[in-house]
Structure 1
Amino acid sequence: MLIEEDAYHAFMPYPAVSVENAPQGPLSGLTLAVKDLFDVRGYRTGCGCPLKLAASREAETTAPAVQRLLEAGARFVGKTHTDELAWALYGMNPHFGTPVNPKAPDRIPGGSSSGSAVAVAAGLADIALGTDTGGSVRAPASFCGTWGLRPTHGRVPLAGAMALAPSYDTAGLFARDGATLLAAAGALMDPDPVPLPEMPDLLWPADMVAQLDEAPRAVLEAAFGTMPSREVEVYPEGADAAYAAYRVTIGAEAQETVLPFIRRSGMPLARGIDGRVAAAAALEEAEIDKARATRHAFAAHLEELLVDAVLLAPAVHAAPFALDAPDEVLDGFRHDAMRLLCVAGLAGLPQVVLPAGMVEGAPCGVSLIGPRGSDLSLVALARRLAPEAHP
């Protein structure tokens, strides 16, 4: 890493290698941290896994998503921690440790883009690149009190990055404010093919809001509750059916991406990932086909719902839990969170998370979900609707 001190354990302690960036550009003067799932020339790519790291060589080329930010003038400062193989949501890596949540040091930072979120929240980087398959930008953004963007699926190239579930994987961004996030997103992607109108219809997703604990619901209502909106139902077959389709389709793709490495390497399976590996390995074709049909119907429903409209959506159902939480919390929290986080992923939609308040002494974000291709105008809208814009 290129920074001298990392009190928050956000960065992988790789030997420092200078990375060239453009001297001038829209991101000049801003520092960039990159999740250790992306190749950066001169660095190894460990993917949060000791055996992956041991087998890796120094990358000869830089991933296109990283290169775009460098060419816009951002200055690279290091590669950041991730959950093992990016297949988790808490940021607790059993091999390399857990980055410290700067806004709530006794709580999890969220994952799998834990180090990227922490680097930005701690002021160690101005922008950070992460990945989001099931919520790996959005959850840590909410937990660490930063802005975060999961782009429209396919909007940002993922060459030179580890795949987990290619039909869900996205390259996302963190920043401490909406202006910086918009500038970084503008450097990372072309202009919106389908920009939002100046003021789209605002939709209140009643069946998402119903899943919130009392305090996060109060944060959401304080942020968006006074805005003129129309109540809608997001899950045509219910939240459990949507989440089940997500779990099966993710597992089906993991059968082709990470399971072969896991079997070939004989890597020990830490708690949490062991259950996901077993569930993915046990999937049968009929179950996968049914889940894909459910996903297709869900995506079609969201596409119809979001014509010139956005969802005023919760990000995660609750505050980040304590680092010493009992096993039953670790076992259940992810499922509750994913019933909300799976919405954008199932439909390939952009979602921007913004800080909105505190719950139990920890940050709590809210979000906007927009139609496919509306990423930049969605971030611009979030800046206008952000709580700090309306004191």
Structure 2
Amino acid sequence: MRDPYNALMPYPSVPVASGDGPLNGLRFVVKDLFDVAGYRTGCGNAVRLAESRVAEQHAPAVARLLQAGAVFAGKAQTDELAWSLTGKNPYFGDIINPTAPDRISGGSSSGCAAAVAGGLAEFALGTDTGGSVRAPASFCGVWGLRPTWGRVPLAGCMPLVPSFDTGGLFARDGVTLLAVAAALLGPDNANLEGEEPLLAEDLVARLPDEVKRALETTFARLSGGGVDLYVEDAETMHTCFDTLQSREVVETQGPWIEEVRPPLGPMIRARYTTSLAVTPAMEAEARNDRERITGQLVDRLAGRAVLAPVVHDVPLRADAGVEQQMAFSDAARRLLCVAGIAGLPQVVFPAVRIGGAPIGLSLIGPPGSDLALVALAARLVEPEMAET
């Protein structure tokens, strides 16, 4: 397949059989964290790829989509060890954002987002830990879904932060995303109350004035009433997320990093070094904070959907330096951490373009309301398509 966006891994093509079902004929790509029979799994790192054996069976999430009739179109690039939000990889090259080539594509499911945005596939299977589906969906102008934590089987997928990791999806439109989510997730186990989402006013307050002005008409059209999602102050919630993520990355990837001593890109090396300073006592406190915050967030939602910005701004320029990348990612995580802490579903959809760069909006819902959330977003954003 011609790939002008460097979205796909250049693996030799191996036949992958499809079944017969609701996704017949829809091409999809798979983030190179999931096993696909006949392919290696590189996890965004050349040393990990060199060590990888050819997978003998599909990861269960991949198998479900194939059984539903989807057609495998390749493995998608990921940021190194799936631990970044930029779409830049020191081993395999940067992923180009098809909708704004001078901007980053986002990460770590950046290859998936670029493949869908660039027309290489109708949908993609990625993962989301701290925003790895949601940020690139916003940056590349496509639909994305971070499902309720635990709804997507992650056997046969590289773990990063197990208590946050979830499979995730991209599609060009809400109707396709809903069909794919139904095939992957099965029926919902929770409902949404009401049709008019509330607006996350405290998250909106973190947007630059230019972004707020560009989105205010959409906010007014789609929402009814306001709510605050920082049930505790934003820094407490961000620190809770960051502490747990750092600790779990050291547990899942640290043994391999310490044994193999692979060369790491500057951003990953800096983040890993910082993570080593997180103590068990800090982790215990963060887990207590997370349990409390999760309960408060679920209560605050009260069964309703909430309209919220995905990240704080349009995608960063592709030529930004490492310090700018890290600062941008840090600011983005202050919005992305809300749904992640509580394991809530969040669906992203295109909203506006500012200076030629896309920015998305999202709906966050209560646990288990994934399909209802996507269906609501499709009815609000694409009413003509949703009715057909």
TM-score (norm 2): 0.96
Give, as a single letter, the amino acid of the residue that structure 1 aligns with 2:114: V
Q: Spell out the pairing of 1:339-378 with structure 2 (5 A cutoff).
A: 339-378=334-373
Give, as a single letter, the amino acid of the residue that structure 1 aligns with 2:104: I
Provide, for residues 124-170 of structure 1, a one-character-per-residue CA deviation record: whole Å limited to 9, x for no partner. 00010000000000000000000000000000100000000011000
Give the Å deviation of 1:275: 1.9
Paired residue secondary structure (1:272): helix
Query: Does 1:248 pair with 2:246?
Result: no
Give, as a single letter, the amino acid of the residue that structure 2 aligns with 1:338: R
For 1:336 and 1:18, the matched residues in 2 are separated by 42
Give, as a single letter, the amino acid of the residue that structure 2 aligns with 1:349: L
Paired residue secondary structure (2:5): coil
The aligned counterpart of 1:67 is 63
> Structure 2 residue aligned with 1:7, among 4, 9, 16?
4
For 2:179 and 2:298, the matched residues in 1 are separated by 27
Shift in CA distance, 225/298, structure 1 to aligned 2, threshold 3 Å: same
Judge which range, 82-91 or 319-328, deviates more: 319-328
The aligned counterpart of 2:140 is 144
**8 Å Cα contact 1:383/1:389 also seen in 2:** no
Give, as a single letter, the amino acid of the residue that structure 2 aligns with 1:35: K
For 2:100 and 2:14, the matched residues in 1 are separated by 31
Q: Spell out the pairing of 1:1-391 with structure 2 (5 A cutoff).
A: 4-22=1-19, 24-197=20-193, 199-200=194-195, 202-386=197-381
**8 Å Cα contact 1:89/1:110 also seen in 2:** yes
**8 Å Cα contact 1:201/1:308 also seen in 2:** no
Give the Å deviation of 1:326: 3.6
Give the Å deviation of 1:322: 1.0
**8 Å Cα contact 1:139/1:316 also seen in 2:** yes
**8 Å Cα contact 2:222/2:380 also seen in 1:** no
For 2:304 and 2:175, the matched residues in 1 are separated by 22
Shift in CA distance, 279/83, structure 1 to aligned 2, threshold 3 Å: same
For 1:134 and 1:186, the matched residues in 2 are separated by 23
Give, as a single letter, the amino acid of the residue that structure 1 aligns with 2:67: E
For 1:215 and 1:296, the matched residues in 2 are separated by 35
Shift in CA distance, 219/65, structure 1 to aligned 2, threshold 3 Å: farther
**Structure 1 segments of 4+ aligned residues over 4 angstroms from their partners:** 387-390
For 1:214 and 1:298, the matched residues in 2 are separated by 29
Q: Count residues with an aligned counterpart.
A: 385
For 1:89 and 1:202, the matched residues in 2 are separated by 28
Mark the runs of 5 or more structure 1 residues left unpaired by the alignment. Answer: none
Judge which range, 341-350 or 271-280, deviates more: 271-280
Shift in CA distance, 389/312, structure 1 to aligned 2, threshold 3 Å: farther
Provide, for residues 198-229 of structure 1, a one-character-per-residue CA deviation record: whole Å limited to 9, x for no partner. x3452221211111112332343222323452
Provide, for residues 86-113 of structure 1, a one-character-per-residue CA deviation record: whole Å limited to 9, x for no partner. 0111110011011111100111100000
Paired residue secondary structure (2:74): strand
Give, as a single letter, the amino acid of the residue that structure 1 aligns with 2:11: Y
**8 Å Cα contact 1:220/1:314 also seen in 2:** no
For 2:87 and 2:205, the matched residues in 1 are separated by 26
Shift in CA distance, 133/122, structure 1 to aligned 2, threshold 3 Å: same
Judge which range, 378-387 or 227-236, deviates more: 227-236
Provide, for residues 212-257 of structure 1, a one-character-per-residue CA deviation record: whole Å limited to 9, x for no partner. 1123323432223234522222112211111111000011111210
Provide, for residues 30-78 of structure 1, a one-character-per-residue CA deviation record: whole Å limited to 9, x for no partner. 1010000000000000000011100001000100001100000000010
**8 Å Cα contact 1:219/1:356 also seen in 2:** no
Percentage of identical aligned residues:
54
For 2:310 and 2:341, the matched residues in 1 are separated by 15
Give the Å deviation of 1:195: 2.2
Give the Å deviation of 1:297: 1.5
For 2:322 and 2:108, the matched residues in 1 are separated by 19
